[in-house]
Structure 1
């Protein structure tokens, strides 16, 4: 019993670099193309497109959420935020790599704003749960936003503060989402890419809080609503 408890405690805390698994020098194999769009998973991506990285627990359902969003060019799943280079799925689930399951989103900022992606992120999972999402427990399932520009970082932090106010009014807890400039993103194995396109009835643990998120400075939703009146 002590052994099982010890394992769970390790999965619920970030490992020190000295504790992390060694990993490998070369990337692990992944898919060449996106299962839904057929686009090249590793690019090249269109000129003017931008990247965003989101962790919302299990990356299967989170990826589907974004590939179904208008203005998103491509999605891919992988691992980021830890110590182990080129980790495998099995390694990340031990909690000894430090990585979170992450969705990479390549999008056209003229067709979908970063603010809209942030709104989708906040409203589609529970960012107050620490090292878990529902029944998925461990550091790999933590909530995370990894940014690729200074503007994204400022916008992500402002959206967190605004959403915290909404959550507090609703009687919810404190946001535990990790927000920082994007570390190295390692593509996950081919079997995990667009998993719910290949397995439509597969597991999806996404569950939001039911609390709406208003992004500071983003009036696109209000404008769209006004145009339909």
Structure 2
């Protein structure tokens, strides 16, 4: 089972999934905004994987300029996977958070800085004690501008990590695949369960981009 969890499945080994989406919340538990839209004109979307999405979602819903967040699954093969299915490692999905934001208040670079500094992107198919493909580090970009920004920020952060004696970034930076909303109980989880588990943690190294810091 551990081997399955740290290796991506193939089309032949992936779970079948289902055609219907899972039941999820209509509105964000904290922010009160619709999870699936409509979103305000001019707002943008980002998708990040940083390990367990419970803590990741809280990091972003607390970020000024973020309009709504949603926990979900992306990057795998199984359509509309359940949480239990993703945990087997046989769907290929990462736990991710969709972030809808106002670029007049918070830039994509700012969000990338938050992304890099709030998890350890050097750990491969794990995040701390959470082991498996679902916990891999990922930036799923929605356009070429996001791709360029993500790659530039990765290079800048790698230089900072190397200087600090840290490892090599393993984050996948690829076009955004289909996003599947996680079950309702995962949405706003740490607000619904204040004593709940949060497994994310940064490296302690500052990312030299965004928030007024020049690369």
- Provide the rounded CA distance (Å) in 1 between the counterparts of 2:94 and 2:183: 15
Report what 2:41 is aligned to: 47
- Whether the 8 Å CA contact 2:31–2:61 is kept in 1: the answer is no
> Structure 1 runs of 4+ off > 3 angstroms?
none
Number of aligned residues: 214
Q: CA deviation at 1:121?
A: 0.4
User: What's the RMSD between the two structures over aligned residues?
Assistant: 1.0
Q: List aligned pairs for 1:66-81, cutoff 5 A.
A: 66-81=60-75
Match of 1:17 among 8, 11, 28: 11
More helix by share: 1
Return the alpha-carbon distance in structure 2 between the equivalents of residues 15 and 173 of structure 1: 26
The Cα of 1:171 is off from its aligned counterpart by 0.6
TM-score w.r.t. length of structure 2 = 0.98
Task: Determine the structure 2 residue equivalent to 1:211.
Answer: 205
* Post-superposition offset of 1:40: 1.0
1:148 aligns with 2:108: no
- 5+ residue gaps in structure 2? none
* Aligned equivalents of 1:222, 1:148: Cα separation in 2: 24
Paired residue for 2:188? 194
Task: Give the C-alpha shift of residue 17 in structure 1.
Answer: 1.4
Q: Distance in 2 between matches of 1:141 and 1:58?
A: 6
Q: Which runs of 5+ in 1 are unaligned?
A: 1-6, 224-229
Corresponding position of 1:172: 166
* Post-superposition offset of 1:18: 1.3
TM-score, normalised by the number of residues in structure 1: 0.92
Q: Which has the larger radius of gyration?
A: 1
